[in-house]
A and B are shown apart, each in its own frame.
Chain A
Amino acid sequence: MKRLGPTSVPLIGLVALLLMNAALSPGFLAVTVRDGHLSGSIVDVFLRAVPVLLLSIGMTLVIATGGVDLSVGAVMAIAGAVAAGILVHPAGTPFANISGTPTMLAVLGIPIAVAATAGAFNGLLVAAGIQPIVATLALMVAGRGVAQLLTNGQIVTFTDERMSALGNGFWLGLPIPIWIAAACALAVFVLVRKSALGLFISATGASERASYLVGIPNKGIKVFAYLVCGLLAGVAGLIACSDIKGADSHNAGLYLELDAILATCLGGTSMTGGRFNLAGTIVGAILMQTLTTIILTRGVSLEATLITKAVLVIGVCLFQSPVFRAKLTREKSA
C-alpha cells in the first residue's frame, strides 16, 4: 500500500464524517445565500470551529517544541475579561476608573498584548527548565482566578456594535471569525514554513541537546512558541467574548485546551515533539467541530461527546505509538 501523506488521514476522516452527515441529515452540505452572505450548516461548522482552530495552531507549535500549554483556556478568559472591562468599565472591577469610549485599537490590542505576555511568561518558565505541564498548570489555575477578579466574578455584557461585529459580522459573504482564523493560520504558516523557524522548532522538539549543540537558540524558540500560543488564545478569547456579547470568565474557554490538544493529535503532530503538521491540525480542528455538530444534530446527549473525544484521542495516540504499530504489522504479516 502506498504511504499516505500526514494530512490525508485526518482529511479522509473529515470527508467521511461530512458525507455521513450529509447522508443522515439532508441539506447538511447545502449552502444558501441569505441577506447577502453565505449560510448553512457547513458554514456554521467552520464558524464554531474558529476558537479551537486558533488554539490548536498555537498548541501545534508548542507541542512541536516538546511541550504542552494547558493554560490556553484561562488565557482566553483573561483576554475576554480585559476586552469587556475596557469596553464597559463596570463598577467594582479594576477597570472602573476608565471613562469615555475607548478606541477599537485599545479594546482589541490590549487584551491580545496581555495574552501574549501570559504566553511569554509560560515560555520563560519552560525555557528555565520547568516541566511544561506544571509551568502552564500554574497559569491555568491562577489565570481563571485572575479573569474572575477582572470581571468581579460576574458576566460582563456589552452592546458595542463594533465589538460584536467581530464575532457576528460578515465580510465578503463569510463570517468575520472565519477570515480572522484564515489570516492567523496563513500568517503562522508563512512564518514557520517560509523561514527557518519551523525547522528550528522541530529540531528543538526532536532533541534539545543536539539542537543546542548545532547552535539553535532553544530557549528563544520555546519562548516564541508559547508567546504565539498565548497570542492566538487571546484572539480566540476576543472572538468567543464577542460572539456572546459578554465576558463569561467562569466558562470561556473551559476545557478547550483538551480540544486543542486533541485537534493537534488528530492532525498527525507527534505528541512527544519534533514532527508537526499545521495543515493537519487545521483539518483536525474542523473534524472535531464536525463531530460535535453531528452529535448535537443526531440528538445524542452532549455528555457523550466527552467520552467520544477521550476514546478518539487514545485511539489516535495508539496509532502514533511505534510499539502499537509494530504489533499491528506483526499480526498482519503473521
Chain B
Amino acid sequence: MTLAVFLGLYAFAGFRYEGFFSLRVFLGFLGDNAHLGVVAIGMTLVILSGGIDLSVGSTAGCSCIAAALLIEKSHLHPLLVVAMLIPAGVAFGFTQGYLISKFSLPPFLVTLAGLFFCRGLALLLSTESIPINHPFLDSIKQLRIPFGGGVYFPFQAILFVMLLVAAGIILKFTRFGRTVYAMGGSEQSAHLMGLQVARTRNLVYALSGICGVLSGLIFAITTASGNALNGQGLELDAIAAVVIGGTLLSGGYGSVWGTFLGLLIFATIQTGLMFDGTLSSWWSKIATGGLLLVFIVLQRVIQPRQSRS
C-alpha cells in the first residue's frame, strides 16, 4: 500500500519534472531528510509500543544548541560532547517513560510538557544561532560513500541507514522488540504474560530520546551551527512518516521499513514541490496534513475488516 503510493508519487514527479529520476535526487532524499528519519525511527518504536512522543523535535533543538555551545564556548572535543549529550537524551527520555508508566499519565501530555521543557531550555541556553568551527566536524563530513559522477552518500544518511537496520533487527530478533509489539497490541495481556512492560516502556522512550539527540547533532554538523529553533515541528513530520508508513497508531502493528517508505514519500513531496518552483512552501504542510489524514482514515477503514476476517 505505502509502497504503491510511493512508487506512484515518484513516477508522477519523475515524469513531470525533468531530472527527477537521477541518482543524485534519490540520494538527496536520504541526505536531506536524515534528521527526520532518525527521529522517525525512535517514533516508530514509541508508537509500536502504544505511546506517542511529541518531545523529539525540541530535544533535537536542545541538543543542537547545547552541542554548539559546548564545542565553541567550552572548547570541548566533539566526541566528548556526543558522549555527554547521549546520556542526557537517555535520562530525559527515561524520565518521560517513568512518569508515563509509574503514574499512568497520558503519554501525549507528558511528552508535550517535555516539548516545552526542552524548547525552553534550548532558548535559555541561547536565542542566537552559533556557528561551529572544528576540524573534527569537517573530517566527519568527509565520511561519505562515493557513487561516481560526483554523487555521494553523505554521512548522515549512513548513520540513518545504520540505525534503521539496527532498529529492524532489534524489533524482529530480540525479546525487547517482541515485548514492544506485545504491549502495543494489548498492554494488559503483555503484563499478564509476565513481560516487563514498565521497563520496556522506559527503554523505548529513552531510545527515542537518543534519536532526538542524534537528530540535533545531525543538524549541528550539516549546518555547521547550533540554533535553538532547529527541529520545530519535527515530531509532527515524524509521526506523519510513521503513520504513512502503515504503522498503526494504536500500536502493535507496523515496522521501521514502513517508516522508511513513509519518509521517502515525505521526501518525494518536498523535493517535488522544490522542483516545481511555482508552489509555495505552505503547500508541503497542506500536502503532509492531507496525506496524514488520508492514511489514518484508510487505517480506520481497513482495520475493522482485518479483525473480522
On A, residues with C-beta under 8 Å from B are 68, 125, 128-131, 133-135, 137-146, 148-149, 152-153, 255, 258, 261, 265, 271-272, 301, 303-311, 313-314, 317-318, 321-324
Contact = CB atoms under 8 A, between A and B. Distances in A.
Contacts of B117: 306-307, 310-311
B286 A142 contact: yes
Nearest to A151: B282
Given A146-B282, A308-B120, A310-B120, 13 more contacts: A68-B108, A134-B239, A134-B249, A140-B289, A142-B290, A145-B284, A146-B286, A258-B116, A261-B109, A304-B120, A306-B120, A309-B116, A324-B103
Contacts of B88: none
A130 B280 CA distance: 30
A305 B119 CA distance: 11
Contact of B236 (A141, A271, A307): A141
A153 B109 contact: no
Given A131-B250, A271-B109, A306-B116, A314 B99 contact: yes
B272 interface: no
B282 A272 contact: no
B120 A303 contact: yes
Interface string B260-297: 00000000000000000000111111101110110011
A307 B116 contact: yes
A265 B109 CA distance: 10
Contacts of A128: 297, 300
Given A143-B289, A305-B120, A307-B121, A261 B112 contact: yes
Contacts of B120: 303-308, 310
Nearest to A145: B285
Nearest to A307: B120
Nearest to A144: B285
A210 B36 CA distance: 42
B223 interface: no
B102 interface: yes
A145 B243 contact: no
14 contacts: A125-B296, A138-B296, A141-B233, A141-B240, A141-B292, A142-B288, A142-B289, A145-B283, A145-B289, A306-B119, A306-B120, A313-B113, A314-B99, A321-B105
B103 A149 contact: no
B87 interface: no
Among A140, A314, A321, the most chain B Cβ lie within 10 Å of the Cβ of A314
B114 interface: yes
| Shortest Cβ-Cβ A-B pairs, 5 listed | A142-B289, A306-B120, A145-B285, A303-B123, A310-B117
Contacts of A125: 293, 296-297
Given A141-B236, A318-B103, A323-B103, A307 B124 contact: yes
A148 B283 CA distance: 9
Contacts of B250: 131
Nearest to A121: B293
Contact of A271 (B106, B114, B116): B106
Among B108, B119, B249, the most chain A Cβ lie within 10 Å of the Cβ of B108
Contacts of B282: 144-146, 148-149, 153
Interface residues of B, number: 44
A323 B102 CA distance: 8
Interface string B121-163: 1011001000000000000000000000000000000000000
Contacts of B69: none
B240 to A, nearest CB: 7
A129 B301 CA distance: 10
A323 B289 contact: no
A306 B232 CA distance: 14
Interface in B71-121: 99, 102-106, 108-110, 112-117, 119-121
Given A130-B300, A323-B103, A137 B292 contact: yes
B52 interface: yes
Nearest to B122: A303
Contacts of A306: 116-117, 119-120, 123
A280 to B, nearest CB: 17
Contacts of B300: 128-130
Given A142-B288, A307-B120, A314-B99, A135 B108 contact: no
Contact of A321 (B104, B115, B240): B104
Contacts of B285: 141-142, 144-145, 148
A162 to B, nearest CB: 29
A142 B240 CA distance: 12
A114 to B, nearest CB: 15
Contacts of A318: 99, 103, 105
Contacts of B293: 125, 138, 142
A151 to B, nearest CB: 10
Nearest to A321: B103
A130 B108 contact: no
Contacts of B296: 125, 130, 134-135, 138
Given A129-B300, A138-B292, A311-B117, A323 B104 contact: yes
A34 B41 CA distance: 58
A308 B113 CA distance: 10
A303 B124 contact: yes
B166 to A, nearest CB: 27
A258 B54 CA distance: 12
